[in-house]
Structure 1
Amino acid sequence: MAKRLVIKVTAGADAPERCSQAFTVAAVAVASGVEVSLWLTGESAWFALPGRAAEFELPHAAPLPDLLETIASGGRLTLCTQCAARRDIGEGDVIEGVRIAGAQVFVSEIVGDDVQALVY
Protein backbone atom coordinates (compact mmCIF):
# COMPACT_ATOMS: atom_id res chain seq x y z
CA MET A 1 0.00 0.00 0.00
CA ALA A 2 1.19 3.51 -0.76
CA LYS A 3 2.40 5.50 2.21
CA ARG A 4 0.80 8.62 0.73
CA LEU A 5 -2.36 8.98 -1.32
CA VAL A 6 -3.00 12.12 -3.36
CA ILE A 7 -6.49 12.47 -4.79
CA LYS A 8 -7.54 15.16 -7.24
CA VAL A 9 -11.30 15.51 -7.41
CA THR A 10 -12.58 17.48 -10.39
CA ALA A 11 -16.25 16.61 -10.03
CA GLY A 12 -18.84 18.29 -7.87
CA ALA A 13 -22.62 18.42 -8.06
CA ASP A 14 -22.22 18.08 -11.84
CA ALA A 15 -21.06 14.45 -11.43
CA PRO A 16 -22.21 13.41 -7.95
CA GLU A 17 -21.13 9.78 -8.08
CA ARG A 18 -17.55 10.59 -9.10
CA CYS A 19 -17.45 13.31 -6.47
CA SER A 20 -18.73 11.05 -3.72
CA GLN A 21 -16.32 8.28 -4.71
CA ALA A 22 -13.33 10.60 -4.37
CA PHE A 23 -14.38 11.87 -0.94
CA THR A 24 -15.25 8.33 0.22
CA VAL A 25 -11.89 6.89 -0.84
CA ALA A 26 -10.07 9.79 0.82
CA ALA A 27 -12.01 9.44 4.07
CA VAL A 28 -11.55 5.66 4.22
CA ALA A 29 -7.83 6.08 3.57
CA VAL A 30 -7.53 8.65 6.38
CA ALA A 31 -9.45 6.32 8.71
CA SER A 32 -7.03 3.54 7.72
CA GLY A 33 -4.01 5.60 8.70
CA VAL A 34 -2.87 6.56 5.20
CA GLU A 35 -1.40 10.02 4.68
CA VAL A 36 -3.98 11.68 2.40
CA SER A 37 -3.94 14.87 0.38
CA LEU A 38 -7.24 15.75 -1.31
CA TRP A 39 -7.15 18.40 -4.03
CA LEU A 40 -10.37 20.27 -4.79
CA THR A 41 -10.35 21.27 -8.45
CA GLY A 42 -12.96 22.15 -11.04
CA GLU A 43 -16.50 21.96 -9.68
CA SER A 44 -15.36 20.40 -6.40
CA ALA A 45 -13.72 23.74 -5.59
CA TRP A 46 -17.06 24.90 -4.22
CA PHE A 47 -16.76 22.43 -1.33
CA ALA A 48 -13.95 24.55 0.11
CA LEU A 49 -16.62 27.10 1.08
CA PRO A 50 -18.56 26.89 4.35
CA GLY A 51 -21.91 25.11 4.01
CA ARG A 52 -21.44 23.92 0.43
CA ALA A 53 -20.82 20.28 1.34
CA ALA A 54 -24.15 20.23 3.22
CA GLU A 55 -25.95 21.11 -0.02
CA PHE A 56 -24.60 17.99 -1.76
CA GLU A 57 -26.95 15.01 -1.90
CA LEU A 58 -26.48 11.54 -3.32
CA PRO A 59 -28.76 8.65 -2.33
CA HIS A 60 -27.06 5.74 -0.53
CA ALA A 61 -23.83 7.74 -0.05
CA ALA A 62 -22.22 8.97 3.13
CA PRO A 63 -22.99 12.64 3.80
CA LEU A 64 -20.33 14.82 2.23
CA PRO A 65 -19.90 17.00 5.36
CA ASP A 66 -19.02 13.88 7.37
CA LEU A 67 -16.50 12.73 4.76
CA LEU A 68 -15.00 16.20 4.57
CA GLU A 69 -14.66 16.34 8.35
CA THR A 70 -12.89 12.96 8.41
CA ILE A 71 -10.49 14.05 5.69
CA ALA A 72 -9.78 17.37 7.40
CA SER A 73 -9.16 15.66 10.74
CA GLY A 74 -6.30 13.54 9.47
CA GLY A 75 -5.43 14.63 5.95
CA ARG A 76 -4.67 17.70 3.91
CA LEU A 77 -7.22 19.67 1.88
CA THR A 78 -6.04 21.88 -0.95
CA LEU A 79 -8.00 24.13 -3.26
CA CYS A 80 -6.47 24.65 -6.69
CA THR A 81 -5.20 28.21 -7.15
CA GLN A 82 -6.62 28.66 -10.65
CA CYS A 83 -9.92 27.00 -9.75
CA ALA A 84 -10.28 29.34 -6.78
CA ALA A 85 -9.48 32.39 -8.90
CA ARG A 86 -12.00 31.40 -11.58
CA ARG A 87 -14.67 31.19 -8.89
CA ASP A 88 -13.55 34.34 -7.08
CA ILE A 89 -12.70 32.35 -3.94
CA GLY A 90 -10.03 33.83 -1.70
CA GLU A 91 -8.08 32.53 1.31
CA GLY A 92 -10.51 34.24 3.68
CA ASP A 93 -13.50 32.48 2.11
CA VAL A 94 -12.55 28.84 2.68
CA ILE A 95 -13.30 26.54 5.59
CA GLU A 96 -10.65 26.09 8.24
CA GLY A 97 -7.85 23.78 7.18
CA VAL A 98 -8.09 24.36 3.43
CA ARG A 99 -5.03 25.79 1.77
CA ILE A 100 -4.89 27.28 -1.71
CA ALA A 101 -1.99 26.04 -3.84
CA GLY A 102 -1.10 25.41 -7.45
CA ALA A 103 0.37 22.89 -9.84
CA GLN A 104 3.91 23.13 -8.50
CA VAL A 105 2.75 21.96 -5.07
CA PHE A 106 0.59 19.24 -6.62
CA VAL A 107 3.53 17.90 -8.62
CA SER A 108 5.77 17.91 -5.54
CA GLU A 109 3.16 15.82 -3.71
CA ILE A 110 2.73 13.18 -6.41
CA VAL A 111 6.39 12.59 -7.20
CA GLY A 112 7.99 9.73 -5.32
CA ASP A 113 7.96 5.97 -4.93
CA ASP A 114 5.74 6.04 -1.86
CA VAL A 115 2.87 7.91 -3.53
CA GLN A 116 -0.32 6.75 -5.20
CA ALA A 117 -2.24 9.41 -7.12
CA LEU A 118 -5.88 9.18 -8.20
CA VAL A 119 -8.00 11.54 -10.27
CA TYR A 120 -11.80 11.59 -10.09
Structure 2
Amino acid sequence: MTRSLVVKVTVGDADPERCNQAFTVAAAGVASGAAVSLWLTGEAAWFATPGRAEEFSLPHATPLSDLLAIVLDAGTVTLCTQCAARRGLGQGDVLPGIAIAGAAAFVEEALADGAQALVY
Protein backbone atom coordinates (compact mmCIF):
# COMPACT_ATOMS: atom_id res chain seq x y z
CA MET A 1 0.00 0.00 0.00
CA THR A 2 1.31 3.45 -0.91
CA ARG A 3 0.83 6.07 1.76
CA SER A 4 -1.02 9.21 0.87
CA LEU A 5 0.53 12.63 1.41
CA VAL A 6 -1.65 15.58 2.38
CA VAL A 7 0.16 18.92 2.19
CA LYS A 8 -1.45 22.13 3.43
CA VAL A 9 0.24 25.39 2.50
CA THR A 10 -0.89 28.46 4.42
CA VAL A 11 1.60 31.08 3.22
CA GLY A 12 2.27 32.95 0.02
CA ASP A 13 4.64 35.63 -1.22
CA ALA A 14 5.36 36.93 2.29
CA ASP A 15 7.13 33.67 3.22
CA PRO A 16 8.49 32.44 -0.11
CA GLU A 17 10.80 29.69 1.18
CA ARG A 18 8.14 28.00 3.28
CA CYS A 19 5.61 28.39 0.46
CA ASN A 20 7.94 26.89 -2.14
CA GLN A 21 8.91 24.07 0.22
CA ALA A 22 5.29 22.95 0.50
CA PHE A 23 4.86 22.82 -3.28
CA THR A 24 8.25 21.09 -3.66
CA VAL A 25 7.32 18.41 -1.12
CA ALA A 26 3.95 17.84 -2.80
CA ALA A 27 5.59 17.47 -6.22
CA ALA A 28 8.26 15.17 -4.77
CA GLY A 29 5.47 13.06 -3.30
CA VAL A 30 3.90 12.73 -6.74
CA ALA A 31 7.30 11.76 -8.19
CA SER A 32 7.67 9.07 -5.51
CA GLY A 33 4.34 7.53 -6.44
CA ALA A 34 2.36 8.70 -3.42
CA ALA A 35 -1.24 9.80 -3.69
CA VAL A 36 -0.82 13.54 -3.10
CA SER A 37 -3.40 16.08 -2.01
CA LEU A 38 -2.29 19.72 -1.90
CA TRP A 39 -4.46 22.16 0.05
CA LEU A 40 -4.20 25.90 -0.63
CA THR A 41 -5.21 27.94 2.42
CA GLY A 42 -4.63 31.42 3.76
CA GLU A 43 -2.51 33.53 1.42
CA ALA A 44 -1.66 30.43 -0.63
CA ALA A 45 -5.28 30.54 -1.82
CA TRP A 46 -4.23 33.03 -4.49
CA PHE A 47 -2.15 30.34 -6.23
CA ALA A 48 -5.40 28.67 -7.25
CA THR A 49 -6.06 31.56 -9.63
CA PRO A 50 -4.67 31.82 -13.17
CA GLY A 51 -1.28 33.50 -13.45
CA ARG A 52 -0.49 33.80 -9.74
CA ALA A 53 1.92 30.85 -9.51
CA GLU A 54 3.76 32.23 -12.56
CA GLU A 55 4.32 35.53 -10.71
CA PHE A 56 5.99 33.80 -7.75
CA SER A 57 9.78 33.79 -7.78
CA LEU A 58 12.38 32.26 -5.46
CA PRO A 59 16.05 32.05 -6.47
CA HIS A 60 17.41 28.52 -7.01
CA ALA A 61 13.93 26.98 -6.74
CA THR A 62 11.80 25.16 -9.28
CA PRO A 63 9.13 27.57 -10.55
CA LEU A 64 5.97 27.32 -8.48
CA SER A 65 3.88 27.04 -11.64
CA ASP A 66 5.83 23.89 -12.63
CA LEU A 67 5.37 22.33 -9.19
CA LEU A 68 1.66 23.12 -9.21
CA ALA A 69 1.30 21.59 -12.68
CA ILE A 70 2.95 18.37 -11.47
CA VAL A 71 0.51 18.04 -8.59
CA LEU A 72 -2.49 18.96 -10.75
CA ASP A 73 -1.46 16.34 -13.30
CA ALA A 74 -1.09 13.40 -10.93
CA GLY A 75 -2.61 14.44 -7.59
CA THR A 76 -5.35 16.69 -6.30
CA VAL A 77 -5.35 20.37 -5.43
CA THR A 78 -8.01 21.86 -3.19
CA LEU A 79 -8.73 25.46 -2.27
CA CYS A 80 -10.12 26.04 1.22
CA THR A 81 -13.78 27.10 1.10
CA GLN A 82 -13.50 29.84 3.72
CA CYS A 83 -10.20 31.11 2.30
CA ALA A 84 -11.79 31.35 -1.14
CA ALA A 85 -14.84 33.17 0.20
CA ARG A 86 -12.71 35.69 2.12
CA ARG A 87 -10.92 36.52 -1.13
CA GLY A 88 -14.07 36.64 -3.25
CA LEU A 89 -13.07 33.53 -5.21
CA GLY A 90 -15.51 31.01 -6.62
CA GLN A 91 -15.12 27.89 -8.73
CA GLY A 92 -15.11 30.01 -11.89
CA ASP A 93 -12.09 31.96 -10.65
CA VAL A 94 -9.71 29.03 -10.15
CA LEU A 95 -7.55 26.95 -12.43
CA PRO A 96 -9.11 23.90 -14.06
CA GLY A 97 -8.75 20.84 -11.86
CA ILE A 98 -8.74 22.71 -8.54
CA ALA A 99 -11.61 21.86 -6.23
CA ILE A 100 -13.00 24.01 -3.43
CA ALA A 101 -13.75 22.20 -0.18
CA GLY A 102 -13.87 22.81 3.55
CA ALA A 103 -12.23 21.70 6.74
CA ALA A 104 -14.25 18.50 7.02
CA ALA A 105 -12.78 17.24 3.74
CA PHE A 106 -9.26 18.14 4.88
CA VAL A 107 -9.72 16.31 8.18
CA GLU A 108 -11.09 13.27 6.37
CA GLU A 109 -8.02 13.14 4.12
CA ALA A 110 -5.56 13.82 6.93
CA LEU A 111 -7.02 11.12 9.19
CA ALA A 112 -7.34 8.43 6.52
CA ASP A 113 -5.44 5.19 7.14
CA GLY A 114 -1.91 5.49 5.80
CA ALA A 115 -2.05 9.27 5.39
CA GLN A 116 0.77 11.64 6.26
CA ALA A 117 -0.29 15.25 6.71
CA LEU A 118 2.17 18.15 6.60
CA VAL A 119 1.33 21.82 7.17
CA TYR A 120 3.52 24.63 5.92
Q: Which TM-score applies when normalising by structure 2? A: 0.97
Q: Which residue of 2 aligns with 1:57?
A: 57
Q: Give the aligned residue type for 2:41.
A: T
What CA deviation, in whole Å up to 9, does each residue of 1:11-62 have, x standing for no partner? 1101000000000000011011100000000010000000000000000100
Q: Which residue of 1 aligns with 2:41?
A: 41
What is the percentage of aligned positions where both structures have the same residue? 65
Counterpart mapping for 1:79-98 below 5 A: 79-98=79-98
TM-superposed deviation, 1:2: 6.0
Q: Which residue of 2 aligns with 1:68?
A: 68
TM-superposed deviation, 1:113: 3.1
Q: Which residue of 2 aligns with 1:13?
A: 13
- Superposed CA RMSD in Å reads 1.1
Asked if residue 3 in structure 1 is aligned to residue 3 in structure 2, the reply is: yes
Q: Which residue of 2 aligns with 1:109?
A: 109
The count of residues paired between Structure 1 and Structure 2 equals: 120
Structure 2 unaligned spans of 5+: none
Structure 1 unaligned spans of 5+: none
Confirm or deny: 8 A CA contact 1:2 1:116 kept in the other structure: no
